[in-house]
Amino acid sequence: MKAKYVFPSDYMADPAANVFDGKLYIYPSHDYDSGECFDDDGGHFQMKDYHVLCIDGDPMEQDAKDCGKQFGIEDIPWVEKQLWDNDCVEKDGKYYLIYSAKDYTGVFHLGVAVADKPEGPFVPEADPIRGSYSIDPCVFKDDDGEIYVYFGGIWGGQLQWYKDNKMLKAEHLPEGKEDPLPSRVARMTGDVKQFAEAPRAVVIVDETGKPLPADDPHRFFEASWMHKYNGKYYFSYSTGDTHLLCYAVGDNPYGPFTYQGVILEPVVGWTTHHSIVEYKGKWYLFHHDCVPSNDTTWLRSLKVAELEYDAEGHIKTVK
Ligand code: FUB
């Protein structure tokens, strides 16, 4: 399958692609070379602002255009550093960008910024979402209009710090046949600014209904994404240290989701992160790799590939 770079003029990552007003809008992280060294907690990812990108045409032919800087760390009172992944949803003609960032105590939370147009300008709320934690929000609007946020990431994403939505004194990374750390999902309030309920675990099970164990190379790590295909809920995610994008299918937004297979094989660079979107009758996988930066893990470039399903609704692996 063909793949193409989307925005060759700058380093961007973690693309959340959405269709608004007949155009493709991409909400990425904005990588840059901060000089921080690589570490297992992602200290080399020191992003300091957000941009929105737009493609009005065939994404396999056209590069994205930059709609400009939206806001930076200096505009958000609660944030000290690391503006990581973000995503955007529309409700009643307003656009809500949900992002992850670290506060002044070194803890990740989710924040909200609001705009009248998908290209911004987005204005951040003064405080993070109450009760939010960890990273990598994906905002999903179901056909009935309810909005859900999926989030979470382990290691530097701090998900291992939490149990039952409370921060633990001691962190535990599950091993062997223990249940893995799950992504989380919460329905949002009508104003899309708070959780309407306590976040729930997103459980991925095998074909017998048993949760995939912690030592399964296909277990969840970070980069949640939700899309619907033929009435089914497709939860996709990165497996982090095994470097795959995988997916699982369920009957409702909360799951459980039954593991199906690999969407994307490992790319150049440590991280892999994506979104899946239907645009003008075709399905696309947006993701990133580090080929243009010669495998510099913190300088990633956006890519797009066409995505295909077989007759049973299985996604064909992009190699
Ligand atoms: O961009 C920083 C982090 O790298 C993201 O939050 C992860 O999903 C990984 O792509």
pLDDT at residue 1 greater than cutoff 70: no
pLDDT of residue 2: 80
CATH number belonging to domain 4-307:
2.115.10.20
Quote the CA–CA distance of 292 and 11 in Å, as a whole number. 9
pLDDT, residue 172, reads 86
Task: Report d(CA 117, CA 114) in Å as an integer.
Answer: 9
**Which atom of ligand 1 lies nearest, measured to the CA of 238?**
8
Domain boundaries, the chain: 4-307
Q: Residue 28: is the preceding peptide bond cis (ω within 30°)?
A: no
Ligand 1 centroid – CA 85 distance (Å): 6
Pocket test for ligand 1, best of 39, 45, 154 (most atoms within 8 A of CB): 45
Per the CB < 8 A criterion, the answer to whether 50 and 85 are in contact is: no
Mean pLDDT of the region 143-172: 95
Interval 22-29 mean pLDDT:
98
Please say if the pLDDT value at position 46 is more than 90. yes
Percent of the chain having pLDDT more than 90?
A: 96
Mean of pLDDT over the chain? 97
The protein residue with its alpha carbon nearest to ligand 1, atom 1, reads 84
SS3 of residue 74 by DSSP: helix
- CA distance linking residue 147 with residue 149, whole number of Å: 7
Tens-place pLDDT, residues 263-317: 999 999 999 999 999 999 999 999 999 999 999 999 999 999 999 999 999 999 9
In angstroms, the CA 272 to CA 13 distance is 9
Phi, psi of 250 (to 5 degrees): -140, 180
Report CA(193)–ligand 1 centroid distance (Å).
23
* Beta-carbon-side half-sphere exposure of residue 86 (alpha carbons within 13 Å): 35
Q: Ligand 1 site: residues with CB under 6 angstroms?
A: 13-14, 29, 42, 45, 84-85, 135-136, 153, 222-223, 271, 273
Q: Is 103 helix (H, G, I), strand (E, B) or coil?
A: strand
Res. 169: pLDDT tops 80: no
Instruction: Give the per-residue pLDDT at 272.
Output: 98
Residue 55 near residue 65 (C-beta atoms within 8 A): yes
**Residue 171 pLDDT > 90, yes or no?**
no
Tell me which residues are annotated as active site: 14, 222
Confidence of residue 170 (pLDDT cuts 50, 70, 90): confident
Q: Tokens 């369920």 sit at which residue?
A: 250
State mean pLDDT over 53-61.
97
Average pLDDT over residues 42-62: 97
Q: Is the pLDDT of residue 131 over 90?
A: yes
* CA-157 nearest atom, ligand 1: 6
Centre of ligand 1 to C-alpha 89, Å, is: 20
SS3 51: strand
Decide: residue 200, CB within 10 A, 0-12 exposed, 13-18 middle, 19+ buried: middle
Distance 273 CA to ligand 1 centre (A): 7
CA nearest to 43, candidates 302, 301, 299, 298? 298
The reported pTM is 0.98
CA-nearest residue for atom 3, ligand 1, is: 84
Residue nearest to atom 9 of ligand 1 (CA): 271
